[in-house]
Amino acid sequence: VVCKQKRKKEIKEGDWRSDVCSYDHPEEPEVVVNKPTTEQEQLPPSSVEPKPSFIHKSFFRTTPSVIEQSILSSVSVSQINEALQAGEPLTNGSIKENFFIVGDEPLSTGKFMSVVLPDVDSSAFSQDFTTFVYFDDNGAWPGYVFLLNETPDASTTPTLPVETLEKSENLASLYLTPPGTPSEEIFHDGMAGDTETRYLQFSEPGASLNYGWVGNYLILSTSFEGFQKALGMIAGTNGS
């Protein structure tokens, strides 16, 4: 008997050929014996890995100076800020983009806000978000870009769900170092180019919490210059 066995060959992902054996003598009917699975015989676990609930994709149209992946063992303010502080500082005016992995999945907006901004209802936002750090003479300033699930009317500026943001008692947790005390207890209206903003000034140099809407994107930055940079990068410019 001459048997020519072909090795398994991958046809496409998840679709494998069985081994094929051909003989020189006439084909004989194949005898298949189905053995019952006993309690002692366990079926092998599935080799198909679970897919993440979503795939992270940056909201920036301009590539930042550095992109870093940060793996978190748990979701907490200290772990997030520690990841953002990792690595060497960049030159003034530069942007570093971070994205977080928790348990083989990208960190979702809901999980992020539940520890950093628990006052803000995250259900109106997409699961994905963009994290960045802006560098200048005064230090490193984190910022975030969130995406509304529904595209707002171009003639109106969204107010929900950030109307609770200004009343949050957790704003200082957005900073890598203590920003000092707020200059006032309320946010003020501002402008960054043609974009309307709201901001709260803190006592430490450079610490100014800014947020504003660009279409259905919400930019939240711990410095005004960082807000301007992120604004330009969403538009696909250098952000200067």
Q: How high does pLDDT run on average in the chain?
A: 81
- Report helix angle 77-85 to 109-116, nearest 10: 100
Q: Please indicate whether residue 24 or residue 225 has the higher confidence score (pLDDT).
A: 225
Q: What is the mean pLDDT of residues 131-152?
A: 92
pTM value is: 0.76
If you ran DSSP here, which 8-state letter would residue 202 be given?
A: B
Cis upstream peptide for 161 (omega within 30°): yes
Per-residue pLDDT tens digits for 6-57: 333 333 334 333 333 333 334 444 433 334 444 445 555 555 566 788 899 9
The C-alpha atoms of residue 224 and residue 103 are separated, in whole angstroms, by 33
- In whole angstroms, how far apart are CA 70 and each of 83, 95, 117, 156, 158? 6, 16, 20, 36, 31
From the list 141, 154, 162, the residue with the least C-alpha distance to 229 is 141
The pLDDT of residue 155 is 62
Residue 179, pLDDT above cutoff 90: yes
**By the 8 A CB rule, do 202 and 164 touch?**
no
Unique residue bearing structure tokens 């750090």: 133
Residue 5, pLDDT above cutoff 50: no
HSE (CB half, 13 Å, CA atoms) of 177?
11
From the list 159, 160, 158, 179, the residue with the least C-alpha distance to 170 is 179
